[in-house]
């Protein structure tokens, strides 16, 4: 393996004084300050949380949601494909018999631990029924207790797509 010798700067008298470097830095800061002050409409900074981001795209992976069938019931059949694909092992499912004649199986418990989730989107890719999606656009989730970060089936079903569709 080759060795790269990195030159050391800062040995000269000018470097040791520090003041020229400080003034050079201040010059850059002040020029930006003057430019932004003269034209405030071009500032890239967003005033979050008063302003919400407008650049969330369709492919953005936000907090998960469980989708519904046309009749409004849960689409998931508890096949465990998402739990199998999950690299963080953060999806907890328990299946049960579905007795309403629409399907045979449905989840009794469906939990996602957001603190363990790495938001890779593997569950969405794995789902054979399009029952789980990450298109809610929710990028910020706050809670006071650890267990509040574990979303259950009802919470996941209540999430809506950020584009407003079902």
Partner 1 sequence: MATITVDGKEIYANDNALLIEELLANGINIPHFCYHPSLGKDGNCRMCMVEIEGKKRPQIACDTPVKDGMIIRTKGENIARVKRQILELELINHPVDCPICDQAGECSLQNYYMDVGLYDSRLDTAKNKKRKHVDLGANVMLDQDRCVLCTRCVRFTKNITKTHELGVVVRNDHSYISTFPGTKLSNPYAMNVIDLCPVGALTSKDFRFHQRVWFLKPEVAICDGCSRGCSLLVDHNKEKYKDDVVYRYRPKFNKNVNGYFICDYGRLSYKKENENRLLNAYIRGMESEFEYAILKIERLLKRYGPKTLFLVSPTLSLEEIYRVRTLAHKLDAAINGFDDNFDEDFKDDMLRQSDKTPNRKTLKFLAINDSKEDLLRDLKGKEFVLLIGRDDIQIIKEMGYDGSIGVMNYRDFKEKEKIDIVIPIVSHTSRQGTFINCDNYMQFSSCEIQKNIQALKVLEFVETILNDGRVTCEDVWEGGLEDEEFLGDIKFTQIKSNSMKIGR
Question: Which residue from 120, 64, 124, 71 is spatially nearest to 100, judged by alpha carbons?
Answer: 71
Q: Does 97 bind partner 1 (CB under 8 A)?
A: yes
Tokens describing residue 39 = 């034209």
CA distance linking residue 20 with residue 13, whole number of Å = 11
Q: Does 130 bind partner 1 (CB under 8 A)?
A: no
Q: Contacting partner 1 (CB under 8 A), which of 36, 60, 61, 80?
A: 80
- Are 63 and 143 spatial neighbours (Cβ–Cβ below 8 Å)? no
| Beta carbon of residue 40, minimum distance to partner 1 (angstroms, whole number) | 51
Give the number of other Cβ atoms within 10 Å of residue 25's Cβ: 10
Stretch that binds partner 1, among 47-55, 61-69, 93-101, 134-142 (CB under 8 A): 93-101
Question: Which residue from 49, 57, 61 is spatially nearest to 142, judged by alpha carbons?
Answer: 49
Q: Does 14 bind partner 1 (CB under 8 A)?
A: no
Q: Does 79 bind partner 1 (CB under 8 A)?
A: yes
Nearer to partner 1, 22 or 102 (CB): 102
Under the rule (CB under 8 A), what is the footprint of partner 1?
A: 77-81, 84, 89, 92, 95-97, 103-105, 128-129
């Amino acid at each position: 393996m080759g060795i790269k010798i990195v030159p050391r700067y800062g040995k000269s008298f000018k470097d040791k004084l520090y003041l020229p470097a400080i003034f050079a830095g201040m010059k850059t800061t002040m020029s930006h300050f003057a430019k932004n002050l003269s034209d405030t409409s071009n500032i890239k900074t967003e005033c979050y949380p008063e302003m919400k981001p407008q650049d969330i795209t369709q492919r953005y992976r936000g907090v998960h949601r469980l989708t519904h069938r046309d009749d409004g019931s849960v689409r998931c059949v508890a096949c465990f494909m998402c739990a199998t694909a999950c690299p963080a092992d953060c999806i907890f499912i328990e299946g049960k018999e579905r007795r309403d004649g629409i399907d045979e199986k449905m989840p009794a418990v469906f939990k996602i631990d957001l603190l363990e989730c790495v938001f890779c989107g593997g569950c969405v890719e794995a789902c054979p029924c399009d029952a789980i999606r990450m298109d809610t656009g929710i990028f910020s989730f706050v809670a006071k207790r650890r267990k509040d970060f574990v979303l259950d089936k009802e919470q996941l079903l209540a999430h809506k797509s950020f584009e407003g569709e079902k």
